[in-house]
Amino acid sequence: MTALTGIRVIELAREPIAFVGKLCGDMGADVILVEPPGGDPCRGYPPFLDDTPGEDRSLYWWHYNSSKRSVVIDLDDEDGRDRFRALVATADVLIEGEPPDRLATLGLDYDDLIKHRTDLIHASVTPFGRNDPKSDLPATDLTLLAGGGPMWSCGYDDHSLPPVRGPQQGYQTGANFGFLSVLTALAYRGVSGEGQFIDLSQHAALNVTTEGSSIRWLTAQTTVQRQTGRHASVTPTTKTSQLCADGRLASTGAGARNQEQFALLHEWLKELDLESQLPEAVFLEMGANWEGHLNMGLIGEDDAVTAIFGAGREAMKLIASTLTAQEFFVQSQRKGFTSAVVNAPEEAFEDEHIKARGFHVDVYHEDIERTITYPGAPYPLPASPWRIWRRAPKLGEHDEEVFSELT
Amino acid sequence: MPEALSSFRICDFTGQLAGAGATKWLASFGAEVIRIEDPVNEGRWDILRSRAPTVDGNSSVNLSGSFNNHNTKKHGITLNLRTERGKEILAELVKISDVVTENFSKGVLDRWGFGYERLKELRPDIIYVSHSGFGHRGPYSDFKSWGPVVQAISGLTFASGLRDQEPAGWGYSFMDHTGAYYMAMAVLLAIIHRQRTGEGQWVDLAGTEAALTLHGPALLDWTVNQRPTRRPGHPDSNRNLWPPMAPHGVYPCAGDDDWVAIACRNQGEWEALTSVIDEDWCRDPVFADLEGRLASQDALDAHIAQWTAERNKFEVQSALHEVRVSAAAVQKPQERIDLDPSTENFGLWRKVVHPEIGPVRVEGHPVHFSKTDWSIERGGPCLGEHTEEVLGRLLGMSSKEVDELREEGVI
């Protein structure tokens, strides 16, 4: 038994919402993916198993559709709609990302469906919300991130280069809110017995996922400007990335902050025999011996404080340049500095810490007789464990077992 | 309107955005969130308490716009956990709470004597959700982090950038937001589990782990095909791999740092786009089908950029929407907050009247529930604003007792 065991979720297959269904399914919900005849186009998305395109070989599909069953229902056909209504009668939750008027036109919107399932939770995910005419227009992960705010803050110091998107995170951010909303509605249903309709706007989801960009404007009507690899800011900040000895980048962070850390940093520089390469090293000593509060707020105002913190940053960068990025990260963190290595996703996946926490999850695909390693749980719930309960379904794989239960 | 989560009480030690963002969602849906802060250092374990921006440029623990935004509708009390009496009061609060939340470094609650084992003694079915960059287990569990560290370690920084450039990364703490969403999910999953079984549990949420789940197909491409994302020409994240599209990019427009994003998902959208642009190059056979456009994407992008560069970004957006092509101006903060009917009509921005800040706008939530919608009637609590009210209402203390606690330095 896990958190959502026994909760039946119907998902009308659409690219932007597939992640909501996965989040439900991997927590134990019985997710039934309803696909049109011919299947969801995402079945054909790369990358493919062994780089060979073909049926049931899309790794994209595998990832976003784990822990789901698949049935084929043609909603444009009256028999199909009857079957869908019968299916919804057995369901706790419906997740869909249809254009705003489509379900009403088919007689399958919330008001119709609650006649068949009075406590249904129906979550609609559209680009701008159900009542906005713009939700009828095509939108993609890219255009949502552009219009919704994240992209304005992301890119390079050189503003002749375009703002940059974090791929997939437009859809996934909307999906995260979709799952959060379903859980909130389930918790309420657990208390009250009542279901309800949820209207989610992906554009709004991104608008409230921009941190300083929104807060600065809402509070002080100032505008942040994008900078390479660091927070967009109203006033420019110092670069914190450093190329390391192995050609990978590290993020050196804020460096030393207090007397103890300046002493540690100075000691580290000496250990690595680098003191002579940093003329500013004398300021590290000054920082270590500073009397009273060493106030970062005085950077730019007080010459000594400015020099001390500047030397701290330069020392971190110099050290980073002589170590591999991973060595720099681990050694500096062990000394108490908040630093990082800029991993590629696969490097992060192979990291010893991630592995030690059990993030590599093996799933046996009986159809190809192979065990595939998947990314694991976003959250470890020991009493109600996350799990990939089954591989992504083939088209209509569960028609018979699902339909035979319906009256 | 009833509130979805009004039957749940949360004893909340969260701060910044990675923690406070989670309990903001829960509070907006009616959970009683009691934020506990230290009276001695004036709640500064949440570094946002005294940070910019502020409305008038002044600084104090009650004036921060970020703190106010992330803590709307929460109750704020002070409790000095260095004192025995402070610990006793916390124990009483835990006994009547459903959930304890925090995003400190590992070990802080243990040092106060309120690790999970102790919480469970106080309330056997307690839900405890901790959120840190690396979690409380594993080789890096003592390491420190903030949003940019989580993003760098997890590959999110690397995945975002242009070809032949260093990573652009995220220009903000995307994982403070997203980590907060996963923290709220963990709280709700544990609540639903407890509703059905009566059991509580401790969720040791690690931001880096949550972040890694956001790279799904790339990680399977690695485990199955051994294809790394660190390879020549990659990442080039304004382009699209799954599925491949061309054009798919961000193009310059007339104006100051103005840009427009355009994506053609299929042949029909390409034909619609070229019907609007209608220049000779549109008919160049090399661009006739997707395969050709992908092979000549640099040239294609250069043509489109030349066309957009002479035009206003919102005019390009409208012209392409007219023919049903995906397009969006890269919106600046003012454009999406003050001038965008889609956020305005959705009721996304809310005005609260804060006792010290005065009227100020805050972020709402991107959903509406038909029966139990969220609400935000007030901003973040001033330091200790609800101490007397909470101790009186929940623990039955008189004003006199509260005054004594204040004199003894307990609150």
- Give me the CATH number covering residue B127: 3.40.50.10540
pLDDT value, residue A372: 98
Q: Which residues contact B369 (CB under 8 A, 6 or more apart)?
A: A181, A184, A185, A196, A197, A198, B4
Distance CA A245, CA A161 (A): 27
- Residue in this structure with the two tokens 């509260």, named with its chain if needed: B402
Residues B268, B364: one domain?
no
Residues B355, B325: one domain?
no
All residues of chain A having their beta carbon less than 8 Å from the beta carbon of residue B29 are 184
B10 to each of A7, B168, B392, B393, how far by Cα in Å? 25, 38, 17, 15
DSSP B356: T
Residues B70, B203: one domain?
yes
Residues B159, B184: one domain?
yes
Residues B17, B103: one domain?
yes
pLDDT value, residue B57: 87
B327 to each of A144, A163, B279, how far by Cα in Å? 9, 15, 19
Tell me whether residue B279 is in a domain.
yes
Tell me whether residue B45 is in a domain.
yes
Distance CA B313, CA A155 (A): 18
pLDDT value, residue A240: 87
pLDDT value, residue B121: 98
Distance CA B317, CA B273 (A): 11
When pLDDT is cut at 50, 70 and 90, the band that residue A300 belongs to is confident
Whether residue A384 is predicted with pLDDT greater than 80 in this model: the reply is yes
Give me the percent of chain A exceeding a pLDDT of 70: 100
Distance CA B313, CA B330 (A): 8
pLDDT value, residue B136: 97
pLDDT value, residue A17: 98
Tokens of A226: 């994008």
Cβ distance A196 to B372 less than 8 Å, yes or no, reads yes
Helix/strand/coil (H, E, C) string of A339-383?
CEECCCHHHHHCCHHHHHCCCEEEEEECCCCEEEEEECCCCCCCC
All residues of chain B having their beta carbon less than 8 Å from the beta carbon of residue A359 are 209, 212
When pLDDT is cut at 50, 70 and 90, the band that residue A253 belongs to is confident
State whether residue B203 sits within 8 Å of chain A by CB.
yes
CA nearest to B348 within chain A: A204
Residue B387 Cα, gap to closest chain A Cα (Å): 27
Tell me whether residue B240 is in a domain.
no
Whether residue A386 is predicted with pLDDT greater than 80 in this model: the reply is yes
CA nearest to B52 within chain A: A216
In angstroms, the first-to-last Cα distance of chain B is: 35
Residues B192, B289: one domain?
no
Closest to B189 (Cα-Cα) out of A19, A5, A8: A5
Which of B148, B188, B330 has the CB atom closest to A251's CB atom? B148
Which domain range does residue B29 map to? 9-212+344-407
When pLDDT is cut at 50, 70 and 90, the band that residue B295 belongs to is very high
When pLDDT is cut at 50, 70 and 90, the band that residue B387 belongs to is very high
Closest to B250 (Cα-Cα) out of A46, B242, B258: B258
pLDDT value, residue A38: 97
All residues of chain B having their beta carbon less than 8 Å from the beta carbon of residue A198 are 367-370
Local structure of B187: helix, strand or coil: helix
Tokens of B278: 């209608």
Local structure of B137: helix, strand or coil: coil
pLDDT value, residue A321: 97
All residues of chain A having their beta carbon less than 8 Å from the beta carbon of residue B360 are 218-219
When pLDDT is cut at 50, 70 and 90, the band that residue A274 belongs to is very high
All residues of chain B having their beta carbon less than 8 Å from the beta carbon of residue A218 are 65, 69, 337, 349, 360-363
All residues of chain B having their beta carbon less than 8 Å from the beta carbon of residue A378 are 182, 185, 209-210, 213
Residues B46, B165: one domain?
yes
Which of A147, A213, A379 has the CB atom closest to B210's CB atom? A379
Q: Among A130, A143, A225, pick the best mutation site for testing chain B contact (most B Cβ within 10 A).
A: A143
Please write the tens of the pLDDT for every residue from A52-99: 999 999 999 999 999 999 999 999 999 999 999 999 999 999 999 999
Phi, psi (5° rounding) for residue A355? -65, -45
- The burial class, CB within 10 Å (0-12 / 13-18 / 19+), for A329 is buried
Distance CA B186, CA B99 (A): 11
DSSP B241: B
When pLDDT is cut at 50, 70 and 90, the band that residue A283 belongs to is very high
Closest to A313 (Cα-Cα) out of A227, A250, A356, A220: A250
When pLDDT is cut at 50, 70 and 90, the band that residue A298 belongs to is confident
β-bridge mates for residue A372, sequence order = A363
Q: What is the mean pLDDT of residues A196-208?
A: 98
Residues B268, B135: one domain?
no
β-bridge mates for residue B241, sequence order = B244
Which of A140, A177, A187 has the CB atom closest to B366's CB atom? A177
State whether residue B55 sits within 8 Å of chain A by CB.
yes
Cβ distance A198 to B135 less than 8 Å, yes or no, reads no
Q: Strand (E) positions, B20-141? A: 32-37, 75-78, 99-102, 127-132
When pLDDT is cut at 50, 70 and 90, the band that residue A1 belongs to is confident
Cβ distance A201 to B66 less than 8 Å, yes or no, reads no
When pLDDT is cut at 50, 70 and 90, the band that residue A149 belongs to is very high
Tell me whether residue B62 is in a domain.
yes
When pLDDT is cut at 50, 70 and 90, the band that residue A254 belongs to is confident
Closest to B237 (Cα-Cα) out of B157, B149, B171: B157
DSSP H/E element including B201:
strand B201-206
Distance CA B217, CA A127 (A): 23
Tell me, rounded to whole angstroms, the distance of Cα B64 from its chain centroid.
Answer: 18
Name the pairing type of β-strands A68-72 and B259-263. Answer: unpaired
CA nearest to B64 within chain A: A219
CA nearest to A361 within chain B: B223
What crossing angle do the helices spanning B399-407 and B387-395 adopt, rounded to 10°?
Answer: 130
Residues B279, B306: one domain?
yes
Residue B172 burial (CB count, 10 A): 29
Cβ distance B185 to A23 less than 8 Å, yes or no, reads yes
Cβ distance B330 to A151 less than 8 Å, yes or no, reads yes
Give me the percent of chain A exceeding a pLDDT of 90: 96
Exposure letters B206-215 (e unless 16+ CB within 10 A, then b): bbbbbbbbbb
Which of B329, B364, B388 is the endpoint of a domain? B329
Whether residue B191 is predicted with pLDDT greater than 90 in this model: the reply is yes
Q: What is the mean pLDDT of residues B43-52?
A: 91
Q: Which residues contact A315 (CB under 8 A, 6 or more apart)?
A: A255, A256, A265, A266, A268, A269, A278, A280, A281, A284
Tell me whether residue B253 is in a domain.
no
Please provide the average confidence, as pLDDT, over all residues in chain B. 97
Cβ distance B148 to A230 less than 8 Å, yes or no, reads yes
Q: Among A153, A215, A221, A359, pick the best mutation site for testing chain B contact (most B Cβ within 10 A).
A: A215
All residues of chain A having their beta carbon less than 8 Å from the beta carbon of residue B247 are none
All residues of chain B having their beta carbon less than 8 Å from the beta carbon of residue A227 are 171
Please write the tens of the pLDDT for every residue from B148-176: 999 999 999 999 999 999 999 999 999 99
Please write the tens of the pLDDT for every residue from B210-226: 999 999 999 999 999 99
Please write the tens of the pLDDT for every residue from B306-353: 999 999 999 999 999 999 999 999 999 999 999 999 999 999 999 999
Whether residue A392 is predicted with pLDDT greater than 80 in this model: the reply is yes
Residues B20, B149: one domain?
yes
Residues B304, B163: one domain?
no
Distance CA A39, CA A41 (A): 6
How many structural domains compose chain B?
2
Q: What is the mean pLDDT of residues A166-178?
A: 98
User: Sheet containing A93-96: which strands, arranged edge to edge?
Assistant: A68-72, A30-35, A8-12, A93-96, A121-126, A196-201, B367-369
State whether residue B195 sits within 8 Å of chain A by CB.
yes
> Considering only residues 85 to 124 of chain B, which have any Cβ-Cβ distance to chain A shorter than 8 Å?
none
DSSP H/E element including B248:
strand B248-252
Residue B333 Cα, gap to closest chain A Cα (Å): 6
Tokens of B342: 């889609």
| Residues B299, B246 contacting (CB under 8 angstroms) | no
Tell me whether residue B238 is in a domain.
no
Name the pairing type of β-strands B32-37 and B75-78. Answer: parallel
Distance CA A18, CA A367 (A): 22
β-bridge mates for residue A201, sequence order = A126
pLDDT value, residue B303: 98
pLDDT value, residue A407: 76
Cβ distance A146 to B329 less than 8 Å, yes or no, reads yes
Q: What ipTM describes this predicted complex?
A: 0.98
State whether residue B306 sits within 8 Å of chain A by CB.
no
pLDDT value, residue A295: 87
Which of A51, A155, A375 has the CB atom closest to B219's CB atom? A375
Distance CA A188, CA A184 (A): 6
Q: What is the mean pLDDT of residues B238-263?
A: 98
All residues of chain B having their beta carbon less than 8 Å from the beta carbon of residue A320 are none
Cβ distance A354 to B212 less than 8 Å, yes or no, reads yes
| Residues A392, A66 contacting (CB under 8 angstroms) | yes
Residues B140, B273: one domain?
no
Which of B142, B217, B364 has the CB atom closest to A47's CB atom? B217
Tell me whether residue B33 is in a domain.
yes
Whether residue B82 is predicted with pLDDT greater than 80 in this model: the reply is yes
pLDDT value, residue A112: 98
Which of A166, A249, A356 has the CB atom closest to B174's CB atom? A166
Please write the tens of the pLDDT for every residue from A20-37: 999 999 999 999 999 999
When pLDDT is cut at 50, 70 and 90, the band that residue B260 belongs to is very high
Tell me whether residue B80 is in a domain.
yes
All residues of chain B having their beta carbon less than 8 Å from the beta carbon of residue A196 are 369-372
Please write the tens of the pLDDT for every residue from A127-137: 999 999 999 99
Cβ distance A231 to B173 less than 8 Å, yes or no, reads yes
All residues of chain B having their beta carbon less than 8 Å from the beta carbon of residue A121 are none
Q: Which residues contact A188 (CB under 8 A, 6 or more apart)?
A: A194, A196, B4, B5, B371, B372
Domains of chain A by start residue, with CATH:
8-209+356-403 (3.40.50.10540), 249-341 (no CATH)
Q: What is the mean pLDDT of residues B13-39?
A: 98
